Amino acid sequence: MSLAERSLTLTPMPRTVVQVGVAESLPDHLRDLGHQRAFLVADPGVVAAGLVAPVLSALHEAGIEHATFDGVDPNPTDANVDAGLAALRGFGPAPVVLIGGGSAMDLGKYLALAAPNSGGGTDFAFAPTLGADDRIDFASLAPRSFVVEAPLPTIAIPTTAGTASETNGGGLITETATQRKLTFNHDGVLPQVVLLDPTLTVGLPPGATAACGMDALTHAIEALSSTNNNPLSDGLALQAIRMVCTYLPIAVEEPANIEARTQMLVAAHLAGRAFSQGPLLGLVHATGHPISAILHQPHGQTLATMLPHVMRFNAEVVAERYGWAAQAMGVGSDAAAAIAGVKALSARVGTDRTLRDLGGDVGLIASLVDQALSDLIILTTPRMPSRAEVTELYEVALGGG
């Protein structure tokens, strides 16, 4: 469809400040928004690493009443939600400050959405089932609880460069009973302010840095090839690809390199703005989510495992766009070069692991396929796969051995 035949809505994005040490200016931003209290949702590893202490000191010195909740699992669950809601409802209404990677940011946004409303667990998330045609049954989409009262405002301080959860009002909560990652989304929990402080990311180990970076790369590539792509998101995605390809290897090999850390934090944010600006994502995320839900693998690693396979599957319908990605990577100008470039980057940063390396086996594939086909993020993938095609993708991703 030509651009003239389309209708585009370019959505506002949060005020974002990029600066070494900017996390400690949180009290100023809370006051600018008219608040004297704050409820922090923080990753426990980030708290243990001492990254939250300077922020707490700044809040204390500014006389801002605050509480911290850090009961966040690597893939946040309904149990985390219920514990967090008890703490937040006990503390009372306040902006929710998200400090951590995607897990803490997703959980914090969900708590901000749920706290003023009736319900807990995964009540506000979508849990669609499959129809007889293996497509999502939209009649099954309605969540158990609805957002009636306005969510609490949020402010985001990411401590990883990857998920870009700070660029949207959505996220994932794992339903423990079904081991399924369920989507939620509400514009009211889009962070009002984002503070990108590279000093918070220098302590991230190389493996996690690499996985998060591959998440950012996947966001950019999936936004670029989404059925909902648009010129603004194309520009954001291509710049993010350039920055990730240049700076991810440096951030992995020289963890204390503050310039590489800053570039990656901004690259991940731009990739997030790209997919959050309408395109959303696609089959890499739809096939990656079940691997992390069932095998408890890091989100970015599951994407790195699936990305080249899904790109090969998509290539025939998005060849030109993958060619743009190859140019942004500086590796050529066609889809084959883009796939080779992704594989080379993944090998260089150490995320070139098979599904078998992640604990998968043939017996698991049917469950993975069911979850992938019913993941809402599949809806914008450029080439809609059949059950047999998703099965084959997982079989190839298993690798030899």
Q: In what order do the strands lie in the sheet with 15-18?
A: 15-18, 193-196, 154-158, 96-100, 37-42, 65-69
Write down the least CB distance from residue 306 to Fe ion, Å: 11
Size of the site for Fe ion (CB under 5 A): 1
Q: Candidates 177-185, 208-216, 319-327, 361-369: pick the segment binding Fe ion (CB under 5 A).
A: 208-216
Nearer to Fe ion, 166 or 215 (CB): 215
Residues 6 or more apart whose CB falls under 8 angstroms from that of 142 comprise none
**369 C-beta neighbours (distance < 10 Å), count:** 22
CA distances from 353 to 211, 340, 342, 389, 395 (A): 11, 15, 13, 21, 14
Least distance CB 195 / Fe ion (angstroms): 21
How far apart are the two ends of the chain, measured CA to CA in Å? Answer: 44
- 105 versus 373: smaller Cβ distance to Fe ion: 105
Residue sitting closest to Fe ion (CB) = 215
DSSP of 350-396: T----TTTTT--GGGHHHHHHHHHT-GGGGG-SSPPPHHHHHHHHHH
Tell me the torsion sign for CA atoms 247, 252, 254, 260: positive
Nearest distance in Å: CB 285, Fe ion:
6
* Residues of this chain, 210-229, that bind Fe ion according to CB under 5 A: 215
Spatial contact of 41 and 191, defined as CB atoms under 8 Å apart: no
Taking alpha carbons only, the member of 252, 257, 292, 287 closest to residue 103 is: 292
Query: In terms of CB distance, is 70 or 215 closer to Fe ion?
Result: 215
Q: How far is the CB of 59 from Fe ion (least distance, A)?
A: 30
C-beta of residue 248 within 8 angstroms of C-beta of residue 345:
yes
List the structure tokens of 72.
Answer: 């966040």
CB of residue 238 vs Fe ion: minimum separation in angstroms?
18
d(CA 173, CA 303): 18
Q: Is 106 in the site for Fe ion (CB under 5 A)?
A: no
Q: Which is nearer to Fe ion, 215 or 375 (CB)?
A: 215
Task: Assess 70 for contact with Fe ion (CB under 5 A).
Answer: no
Distance in Å, CB of 283 to Fe ion, minimum: 13
Residue 232 CB, shortest distance to Fe ion, in Å, is 20
- Least gap, CB of 272 to Fe ion (angstroms): 9
Nearer to Fe ion, 185 or 257 (CB): 185
Nearer to Fe ion, 106 or 215 (CB): 215
Pick the closer one to Fe ion by CB: 220 or 318. 220
Q: Which is nearer to Fe ion, 43 or 215 (CB)?
A: 215
Contacts of 68 (CB under 8 A, 6+ apart): 39, 40, 41, 42, 47, 52, 56
Binding window for Fe ion (CB under 5 A); candidates: 93-101, 121-129, 209-217, 226-234: 209-217
Which parts of 9-48 interact with Fe ion (CB under 5 A)?
Answer: none
Residues lying near Fe ion in the complex (CB under 5 A) are found at 215
